[in-house]
Amino acid sequence: MYEKTNNHQFTTAAIQMNSQQDVEQNLTDIKAAISEACQQGTKLVVLPENCCSMGEQFATAERFDELSATIADYANTYGVYVLAGSLPCSYRPDGVIVPDGRLRQVSQLFAPDGTRVARYDKIHLFTATVADKQGSYNEAATFEPGTQTVIAPIETENAVYQLGMMVCFDLRFPALAQRLRQAGADILSAPSAFTYLTGQAHWALLLRARALDSQCMVIGAAQGGDHVYKNGNIRQTWGHTAITAYDGTVINSYDDSTLNDTLNNTAASETNKNYALVTAAFDKQSQEQSRQKLPIFDCHRLA
């Protein structure tokens, strides 16, 4: 079982949101969540997938540079690492415009001075038939998959931690989590917007499984609740933001899809907040000791 110690810890935060298509309101909520997380002493804040807008991907992509700069400014203002879960972007990391009128789904890590530490373009694109109102999902119709795995350093006063970056559907592919661990990851980020049905069935299991596969902490920051699109459609996401330790233990979680319905010690203390905050201490020493006791990557033969 996961045991807390006082050695080599730093506190992480996962934010659950109910992002709508009002970008300015979403930014207000993001800033408030980062501010509260910093008040609790966190060093890394992870925002969910589609944090600035659910839907309206092409309109949001036109504001990619502006929105990235705004979140970078929040990181600088509060002196904390901020992972902007995902933003749609019209160009690849090398600046080349994505062909065929598609976009990239981009996760970015910003340092406490506001500089961008890393950009990860989502590799696995959600394709599924789901028994909900939308029925079928095909991200590849809108997005081009990324091609590169990304490890990003997080520097603190006492240590440097390596963050392996994932996004949502990536959680279903253990080879990615294993490759990130092989590249040196200590922590895996998993900003997400799981559908209600697939999340209900698999979200918690996937977070725990990827933690066990990689022997890394996994930070699952989620969208949750009903998202009303401008065309009248409604998309429902699962929520249940959680942070899982290297041994598959859930350290802390917000156990609801919608905000403000179930308030406990993992959520906001006031019912009018448009986010839930889940925090957990990362203990690298305990994680390393566990890896030594169960050296699965010394035994790995297939990858």
For the annotated catalytic residues, the residue numbers are 49, 122, 168
| Residues 121, 93 contacting (CB under 8 angstroms) | yes
Helices (H), 54-189: 57-61, 64-78, 174-182
Helices (H), the chain: 23-39, 57-61, 64-78, 174-182, 196-214, 284-293, 296-299
Q: How far apart are CA 14 and CA 238, in angstroms?
A: 15
Q: Which residue has the tokens 């929520």?
A: 239
Residues 6 or more apart whose CB falls under 8 angstroms from that of 20 comprise 26, 53, 54, 227, 228
Q: How far apart are CA 155 and CA 178, in angstroms?
A: 23
Q: Is 93 exposed, middle or buried (0-12, 13-18, 19+ CB in 10 A)?
A: middle
